[in-house]
Structure 1
Amino acid sequence: MELGRVAFLAGAFATHAVVGYALARGFTDADPRVGLVFGLLPDADFLFPAAWGWPLVHRGLTHTPLFAAAVVVGTYAIRRNRDLTLAVGLAIGSHLAIDSLSPLGIDWLFPVAATAGPGVPVHGPAMTGALWAASIAILAWRTDALRSLRRRVASSSRS
């Protein structure tokens, strides 16, 4: 595999992991590492042998709302924890939302019909930067240490 492709994939994987982590941390009380894992889960299809063919290819079955719904329902059925289930849904949903904007898109209507995305370069430098900035903002908003610092600054400015 060429170096450019490796760098592209590393950036894409890191972005999906960070966005999933940030959403789980920002909007649930679940362990944010759940967001990291489930933000990457759809890309497990890279591990499938090419000989398996459709729909077990990249952007096949694991990149569909049907798969995401099965994972979310399965998580709730096994753990009966709404916070954990929400974290899983946010993380896997973020992956699908990001990839659905790319030129390849995802199959929103699988198994009924194939669809394509609008062609946004979601894994290009500008969108990657925007996704990372939004993730950092969510993490900063939810960071208890930052809230504590703001309170100290506010109380010292009143003195």
Structure 2
Amino acid sequence: MEPGRVLFLIVAFATHAVVGLALVRGFTTVDPRTGTWLGVVFGLLPDADFFFPAAWGWPFVHRGITHSPLFALAVVTGVYGIRRTRATALAVGFAISSHLLIDSLSPMGIQWLYPIETTWSPGLDVHGATGTILLWSLSLGLLAWRTDDLDEFGRWLSRDGGGSHG
């Protein structure tokens, strides 16, 4: 895989993780540690389709079944069935839906009507430089507004012996 594609994927994955984390931490009542991992894991979950063997074909392709509202609903329902807490199900719903919303705005779109193979998209460059900066800025702004996560991160960075230069 060429270096430009690798960098693109790393930034796109990081963006999905940060947006999922920010929405979960900003708008749910799950505890911070749980909210962090729920936001990251379920913000990235639709891209698990990168691990499907190419021979499987449709709908097990990138932006196939895992990029559909039906998949998101199944995941949220499954998590609720296991955990039995609305807060956790809501957190998972925010994280996975953030991924679908972001990707639905991109030129490739998502499978809104799965199992019918169709996509619609406004064709925005959400994974380009401008879109990425906007999504990160909004996410960090949400974390600063609704949580003390950024303060904690700053304290962690400035700890003596924690790699600080001062």
What is the TM-score normalised by the length of structure 1? Answer: 0.89
Q: Which residue of 1 aligns with 2:55?
A: 51
- The 5 A counterparts of 1:135-154 are 135-144=139-148
Equivalent in 43, 65, 73 of residue 61 of structure 1: 65
Task: Give how far 1:112 is off.
Answer: 2.7
Q: For residues 30-89 of structure 1, give each alpha carbon's deviation from its aligned partner in whole angstroms, at most 9, with x where no partner exists.
A: 222101100000000000110110000000000000000000111111111111100100
In the alignment, residue 125 of structure 2 is paired with which amino acid?
A: P
- What percentage of aligned pairs have identical amino acids? 66
- The 5 A counterparts of 1:79-118 are 79-118=83-122
Task: Give how far 1:118 is off.
Answer: 1.3
Equivalent in 76, 79, 86 of residue 80 of structure 2: 76
Q: Which residue of 1 aligns with 2:156?
A: none
Q: Distance in 2 between matches of 1:15 and 1:55?
A: 24
Q: Distance in 1 between matches of 2:20 and 2:99?
A: 8
In the alignment, residue 25 of structure 2 is paired with which amino acid?
A: R
Task: Give how far 1:143 is off.
Answer: 2.4
- Where 2:145 maps in the other structure, the secondary structure is helix
Q: Quickly say closer, same or farther: Cα 1:4–1:79, change in 2 above 3 A.
A: same
Q: Distance in 1 between matches of 2:136 and 2:148?
A: 20
Task: Give how far 1:115 is off.
Answer: 1.5
Q: For residues 69-120 of structure 1, give each alpha carbon's deviation from its aligned partner in whole angstroms, at most 9, with x where no partner exists.
A: 0001111111111111001000000000000001110010111341231110
In the alignment of these two chains, the number of paired residues is 147
Q: Which residue of 2 aligns with 1:35?
A: 39
Runs of 5+ in structure 2 lacking a partner?
152-166
Q: Quickly say closer, same or farther: Cα 1:91–1:145, change in 2 above 3 A.
A: closer
Runs of 5+ in structure 1 lacking a partner?
148-159
List 4+ stretches of structure 1 deviating above 6 A.
none
- Where 1:67 maps in the other structure, the secondary structure is helix
Q: Which residue of 2 aligns with 1:25?
A: 25
Q: Distance in 2 between matches of 1:146 and 1:129?
A: 17
